[in-house]
Structure 1
């Protein structure tokens, strides 16, 4: 093709391809001459990056990993914590009869439960310093009374003292958590019915049965909850609470586990604040064996496909090990440099080696394939100089291909590093940096080991004992011959899909697959998958299942926090009647439950107003009351309120809801409210959170509170709001990050493949593949959550590799027939792409048996990515290229020398005219001459190339 006849895009493509090939040709030539020096430099770079480990930081706090930062919920949480302290640690027992289905409201069973409760509240434990580096708590003992949240209202007799000063919940409060009081009670049902309203009893009794008068007569279960004051602190990115954790382990959990032996009448399911971390961490640790097995499988597969399986001539077991080491060096260098940049390392980062293994092995196969195809003579005839030139030609051939995939992977992860989810942002930054090193080390370290391994084979030395020479003479092929897989692609696969019938079948099949993906993507929803992290065989799973049975999903509680205490007295009546503003809101956003029970609505101002109206102020300060039955002065109001809501006052249940400043003036108070049950049934008829309604409820509640301009400033708070904020952004994060990554992939592929048509086809192929992954996620019952979003970002990087290699190979195949060029591209690159995808599949297939939710989802999404990515890259894209593919690069003939030997020999005999054209109209353009010069530098014989 003459330079004057080239379009701008064709000229651009030739320039880009020529520059990349020329650069890698020179790199390969230097590596081929200096393999040991290259290996040393690679290790030196890794060690230098390792200095960054001095700034190594870990992060394990869920709120700092999976929740968006700098949100309104974060501001509300900070303000709420400043006023009322952190959330309490909850330890709960779900008590049932050991004889399934029997009534638990019997005196005998309640006595047994009281005995168990007394052990929990009186036994002492030492701090759990197993994972704590300090010694502050070493040797000290603590009981529940020492550690509990101090609050009133836990007992009927608020002046009983002792354990009654602690915050607890359950029907045992009717006997002040005292065994002697219970034993002396002749009518326990009468005492239980004094607990509160029917709605109040339903909050602590499982499946209660009431008579016609609304009095409880039996129940299948009841709950007992014990609240500890939060004493946590952060150490190395982990929230630790050794004091409370020690008590939970040695007293609460130990007592619960001993129930079948110590209390034969009882059966309990139980939950502790440390349970989730214990059980989830145990599942991850237990599945590490699968990680080791998967790496071994991947190594064996790589070794079997890089060379012969049997050790001997042509085997490459040490080279396979070098491929794995290349991934290891890239991981170490990436982690070190990322740490130097101040990025934290979180739990999800443990899957990074799987990503790098998939990308790195893929590059290794591509380079090794090019290296083998460039061998034109028997190994025994290659001196070191010839081998170095072959390395240069191989990297010139493979460099563009690995650059396309590495750069697209790098950009895809770099874009997602801007995510508002810290775990995703940090992970993607780590991945992008590690892939950069993988690109460098694949071209240098792995190529160097390949040169040394080729020298070993030429010298007939053994694999591991490379100093020893084999006794048998070397058996070798004269030149490179295609393997079985390449012959399959040439003789069977390509002819089948490129036939007229094959193209129709492929088009129809992938169109249907795309339609399925679109349907699934539309129906995929955001869900709270926290329960999925619990291992199936965990006691925590048993507790959740039992709790769902006896206490179907309850509404989320929230607080309205009123600030600016100086105006509270002025607005006292409006605040006492706040329930009127919250009535009738349950049917639509805000979805606030009707304020008719103590559980759904608790307002100290309402309680004080009723008490003063019924009893006066004699018992709580004896101040003068006005006609409205409120204290006549602000000072008297504060005195009355503080007496009423004290730990020993008649309003002890409100003690935690008020905060006074140093002058005993009210600074802030909170009103407890509750949403209706915002749940739905999933496809398996399981009750799950309805994320959309919860988002609507949160937003509407904020708007409602903001509209109360006649009251002092207030804000709503719920511990669930931070999670709901995550629901609110996770779907946006998914489509934003994946969408931007696909667009970036399209731009990078265009720049590196340098063909707008091929770049478009590759990009569409990747986009279709991702939509189909979403469809299969829906079919498998997965939801949009932090884990699946991360895996989808990974899918962008992995799926583009399979298509980009084939698309680039198509562009460097010469000839006028698109079908023929597709066939040659599949025969050349198909085996390497298939081997790379298979090795990635083997790296995760063992994790299909994992009990950990993270590995469970990872393995399935990875398998989907590999299978669909290979199908698109090796079936659908070739058909698209055969139909719509552009012309090849003008240098394509030079990279496919076997097909052009005759043509070049002919051109060399044709005289040139004064314009630089030969007598047949050919041209030696400047770019073609440059290409010839670069190939001659790395040892390509002139008679084998055409400009």
Structure 2
């Protein structure tokens, strides 16, 4: 085992330590050579890397977008997907729904909506909607359409007419007056007419909170619905479903009329929803919040410029490097997206978050590189020639390269593991992320480092930041101060020896957490956090969060609130499709006509337990063409629908007459035209015969919702139970024709069934991959275990906080949790790897030097990410709100684990250092370093004293070193390579 033996540092190095040393040497040597090339040819490097980025960016030409929910958030090759395919084969999409819930706006708080004035307003509004034309115009087609031109044609929508708007499939009580205001005004008793609508159950289905007298006569109601059905004209283009003609009507004739301000319909409140509403409102929220993303980039740019060097643009400032960092992230995004498109990965809505993710990871790499680059500077810039600068860059990149390689590899593999997810959106997103992170690592090592070399030349040449062609006047050159005797006193060395952050870690942070009470308190606090996280993770549940995607100020919220208030029992339709095939001899639809007509008896008393199917007592809750035909044949016979001979059971006597009768019954304008969408028939062009293929029976689930934290949400657990129980019930109908079930929620429910498993399996595999990559790149079991446990604890605690603040397991939070693995490992991996580079026998001292060295870079990277995230916390979009919340948790918990818990664990059970580690116990010229003494007596001569610029221009200024008698291992290798 590669564990530490603090009492015997000189003991024989084990095999695992040898492997770790070999891996460390290999990575450092590789990056030393990269640093040599980049620093010797910075302009060539920048040119080549830009060509590479732009070249791969050519993949944008073949980028394919995907916006269809069923292709994004639904596990592929599921039973629901097969059911939908079969269903659409028989019953292709035919309608788009536009609906209103109308209630009273009486000044005296009269809730009854069934008054003369409110119905008059509703009819006037309806007439304006169906007469208002929409104007669709594109390059190939122009149309001026009204409702009659676009609606689904079906008879029976009006009480006594088939003309005009009554040709359209509509529903609601206004049909009793043929949707005509004049007809209503001529009605002497509109309540008596309304009571002829149907049964009490039929009225209850379309009225909100109706009241009836002792004779079951309708007295009042608080709301009623009006629904329009348009013929579906959709097609798929560029990965999204489009229906521009209908969408234009929905905007011009439906939404614009209702949203008119001021409204002429002063007696009614209108809650409304259109098929296009969700995409409009959700897309609008996302688009609006993209401005916040731009602000977060600006905040990050400012923070980078202020912390990489001096804030004031002048000597020691590095604002140009802030630009270089943003350019590096941009190149990585372009190249990563382009290559992903070239290999055929689709681009989904959540992929737009990736540049933000790359920003957080890329900034961390920049701070680590700059920190290492600055710490390798041994002389003032004025006395550092090009050869010395090349050597410093090579040594700095060899120091930082291993650290960013560990974090980049762990991020890459964590995302690559999740790219195998059953959810297409998550799989594609993670594939994009892993590819983009590869480019980010490459461009950080080359492009950004080359820019850093040029910036060092700029500072040495006394040229202006961001205007590098302009040289500052001699009065502004405070780069270096000549000192005739070349003597740098101890007072000079102590002045600005370390930056504020490093000083804080050395003098305050490390002593506080490494004292005996400090260690006990840290372990106790994090044990409590872990316990809280475990409890929250256990109680975290899968939820249907579809409503959360709606902005809080959207009119859709008003509609869902109205539906919850007045139509809380209304649920989602579920269809039972019965197939007629050649093999169904004796078991076809005609053979089982009586059983199919009585199917409602099999669906009774199913509302209070799975499958939660509403009682089939009204036309809205249950629709069966076989039941309708049976009742019609009993009452009217076949005179009006083909005059087929009826048998003793009241049905046509053979299969051919049955199909002919059924066809005539459901045709437009026929008595059963309301069932026209429920029968699938095919006409044979040669024989001119009609063949029955399938029928569908529509039932309805009860409203499967629950209240959580004061809000009504969809109950995903009950939806899963309902789907599974419905399928089991249908499979038990062995005495009926072959059948299957379909509901438009089944695809989403299939996702609910697997998403929790996806969360824990992806996170588990990602953490496992972190362990493997850390072991391969660090070569220490102890370090690997500590870093992996640190990341695992952090993720568990994030899950706990998600439960506490009400973030459920859904498609958005699962993606963000996978991202959290990648981000949280960065903070721990940097610290763990830096600890391996600190030698000596005193583990507390090693931890202190680690925090003083890398702590500032880690803290700056975390702070920049948190500041960028903080901008998004005020977002109105659910996607950005959850993203920013989970990111804030990741940064806060990740950096606290990396800078507090991990250092304490390292001090207790940390591993031995690399062979190439800096020996903190080695004697130095002019004095001796004691194991337990942080003070160092240093007297050193240099060519010139460092100026204020040299120290202030780096995020963690260099520790000025004395002459060391023996070169470290890396220094020896570096010199041999140079020779």
TM above 0.5, yes or no, is: yes
Give a deviation string over 1:331-389, Cα, whole Å, max 9, x none: 11111111111112222111111111111110110011111111111111100000000
- Paired residue for 2:657, among 623, 636, 642? 636
d(CA) in 1 for partners of 2:124 and 2:819? 54
Q: Deviations over 1:632-665 (max 9, x none)?
A: 1111212222222232222222221112221223
Equivalent residue number for residue 365 of structure 1: 367
Question: Where do 1:259-338 residues align within 5 Å?
Answer: 260-338=262-340
Q: How many residues align?
A: 909
Q: Report the alpha carbon displacement of residue 260 of structure 1 after superposing the two structures with TM.
A: 4.6
Say yes or no: does 1:771 pair with 2:799.
no
For residue 525 of structure 1, report the CA deviation from its aligned partner: 1.2
Contact 2:545 2:810 in 1 (8 A): yes
Shift of 1:152: 2.7
- Counterpart of 2:22? 15
Q: 1:136 aligns to what SS in structure 2?
A: coil
Q: Could you tell me which residue of structure 1 aligns to residue 974 of structure 2?
A: 935
d(CA) in 2 for partners of 1:561 and 1:186?
44
* Inter-partner Cα distance in structure 2 for 1:893 and 1:939: 21
Q: 2:636 aligns with which of 602, 615, 619?
A: 615
Deviation of 1:128 after TM superposition, in Å, equals: 6.1
Q: Which moved more, 1:618-627 or 1:331-340?
A: 618-627
Q: Partner of 2:885: helix, strand, or coil?
A: helix
Q: Note closer, same or farther for the CA distance 1:179–1:476 as it changes in structure 2 (3 Å cut).
A: same
Counterpart in the other structure of 1:923: none
Q: Which residue of 2 aligns with 1:433?
A: 435
Q: How far did 1:181 drift?
A: 2.1
> How do 1:146-165 residues align onto structure 2 when only pairs under 5 Å count?
146-157=149-160, 160-165=162-167
What is the match of residue 137 of structure 1? 141
Q: C-alpha separation between the residues in 2 aligned to 1:495 and 1:39?
A: 43
Distance 1:625 1:179 in 2: 43
Counterpart of 2:600 in structure 1 is 579
Secondary structure of the structure 1 residue equivalent to 2:75: coil
In 2 relative to 1, CA 845–397 (structure 1 residues): closer, same or farther, beyond 3 Å? same
Deviation at 1:900, TM superposition (A): 6.7
Task: State the shift of 1:49 in Å.
Answer: 0.8
Q: How far apart, in 2, do the equivalents of 1:17 and 1:385 lie?
A: 25
Q: Match for residue 555 of structure 1?
A: 571
Are the counterparts in 2 of residues 354 and 840 from structure 1 also a CA contact under 8 Å?
no
Q: Please state how far the C-alpha of 1:939 moved relative to its aligned partner.
A: 6.6
- Does 1:117 pair with 2:133? no
The more displaced of 757-766 and 110-119 is 110-119
The CA deviation at 1:150 is 1.7
Question: 1:450: Cα distance to partner?
Answer: 0.8
Structure 2 residue 856 is the aligned partner of structure 1 residue 853:
no
Flag the structure with more relative contact order, 1 or 2, with Cα contacts below 8 A and sequence separation at least 6: 2
Q: Is the CA contact (8 Å cut-off) linking 2:460 and 2:479 kept in structure 1?
A: no
Match of 1:106 in 2: 115
Q: Secondary structure at the match of 2:690?
A: coil
Aligned to 1:665: 691
- 1:595 matched residue in structure 2: 616
Residue 427 of structure 1 deviates from its aligned partner by 1.3
Contact 1:32 1:392 in 2 (8 A): yes
Cα deviation for residue 933 of structure 1 reads: 4.2
Distance in 2, Cα, partners of 1:897 & 1:841? 37
State the Cα distance separating 1:9 from its structure 2 match.
Answer: 0.9
Superposed CA deviations along residues 600-629 of structure 1, whole A, max 9, x for unmatched, are 222111222222233333333332222211
Q: Which residue in 2 is equivalent to 1:526?
A: 542
Please give the alpha-carbon distance, in whole angstroms, between the structure 2 residues aligned to 1:128 and 1:680: 44
- Following superposition, the deviation at residue 587 of structure 1 comes to 3.4
Q: Return the alpha-carbon distance in structure 1 between the equivalents of residues 136 and 244 of structure 2.
A: 5
SS for the counterpart of 1:787 is helix
**Which of 44, 49, 52 is the aligned partner of 1:42?**
49
Q: After the TM superposition, which of the residue ranges 731-740 and 794-803 deviates more from structure 2?
A: 731-740
- Flag the 1:900–1:936 CA change in 2: closer, same or farther, 3 A: farther
Deviation for aligned residue 1:876 = 0.7
Checking the alignment, whether the CA contact within 8 Å between 1:393 and 1:935 is kept in structure 2 is yes
Q: Partner residue of 1:756?
A: 781
Q: Distance in 2 between matches of 1:489 and 1:4?
A: 31
Give per-residue Cα distances to partners, 1:315-345, cap 9 Å, x unaligned. Answer: 1111111111111111111111111111122
1:199 positional shift: 2.5
Deviation of residue 934 (structure 1)? 1.9
Quote the offset at 1:267 in angstroms: 2.3
2:830–2:858 contact (8 Å) kept in structure 1: yes
Distance in 2 (CA, whole Å) between partners of 1:74 and 1:87 is 19
Which whole-Å CA distance do the structure 2 matches of 1:82 and 1:611 have between them? Answer: 29
Comparing 491-500 and 621-630, the one that deviates more? 621-630
Residue 343 of structure 1 aligns to a residue whose secondary structure is coil
Distance change >3 Å, CA 890–CA 259, structure 1 → 2: closer
Aligned to 1:687: 712
Distance 1:930 1:510, change over 3 A: closer
Partner of 1:586: helix, strand, or coil?
coil
Cα-to-partner distance string for 1:21-53 (whole Å, 9 max, x where unaligned): 111111111111111111111111112112222
Is the CA contact (8 Å cut-off) linking 1:66 and 1:421 kept in structure 2? yes
**C-alpha distance in structure 2 between counterparts of 1:321 and 1:665, whole Å:** 70
Larger mean CA deviation between 800-809 and 420-429 belongs to 420-429
2:60 aligned to 29, 44, 53, which one? 53
The aligned residue for residue 916 of structure 2 is 891
Deviation of the 1:592 alpha carbon: 2.2
Distance 1:297 1:192 in 2: 62
- 1:625 corresponds to: 646
Partners of 1:487 and 1:369 lie apart in 2 by: 14
Verify the 8 A CA contact 1:392 1:938 in the aligned structure 2.
no
Change (3 A) 1:163 1:18: same
SS of 1:127's equivalent? Answer: strand
Q: Report Cα offsets for 1:274-302 as digits up to 9, x if no partner.
A: 11111122212222221121111111111
Match of 1:80 in 2: 87
Report the counterpart of residue 869 of structure 1 in structure 2.
Answer: 894
Given that 1:389 and 1:938 are in contact with CA atoms closer than 8 Å, whether structure 2 keeps it comes out as: no
Q: 1:261 deviation in Å?
A: 2.7
Local SS of the residue matching 2:130: helix
Residue 225 of structure 1 corresponds to: 227
Residue 820, structure 1, aligned to residue 829, structure 2: no
Q: Could you list the runs of 5+ residues in structure 1 that have no partner in the other structure?
A: 130-134, 906-927, 941-947
CA contact (8 A) 1:893 1:900 kept: no
More displaced stretch, 236-245 vs 445-454:
236-245
Deviation at 1:196, TM superposition (A): 2.1
Alignment deviations for residues 164-195 of structure 1 (CA, whole Å, 9 cap, x no partner): 22111110111122223212211111221222
- Contact 1:126/1:142 (CA < 8 Å) preserved in 2? yes
Deviates more, 1:382-391 or 1:530-539: 530-539
1:384 to 347, 361, 386: 386
**Contact 2:205–2:618 under 8 Å retained in 1:** no
Change (3 A) 1:903 1:347: farther
Where does 1:462-473 land on structure 2 (aligned, <5 Å)? 462-471=464-473, 472=475, 473=477
CA 1:392–1:844: 2 relative to 1, 3 Å: same
- Cα pair distance change 1:643/1:315, threshold 3 Å: same
The superposition leaves residues 463-510 of structure 1 with CA deviations (integer Å, 9 ceiling, x where unpaired) of 122122222232459889321100100110011001110111111111
Structure 2: runs of 5+ lacking an equivalent: 1-7, 482-487, 583-587, 684-688, 930-966
Query: CA–CA distance in 2 between the matches of 1:626 and 1:465?
Result: 97
Per-residue CA deviations over 1:688-723 (Å, capped at 9, x if unaligned) read: 111111112112211221222222211101111111
TM-score by length of structure 2 reads 0.90
Match of 1:127 in 2: 136
Among 495, 498, 501, the alignment partner of 1:485 is 501
1:179 aligns with 181
Tell me by how many angstroms 1:3 deviates.
11
Residue 723 (structure 1) aligned with residue 739 (structure 2): no
2:918/2:968 contact within 8 Å kept: no
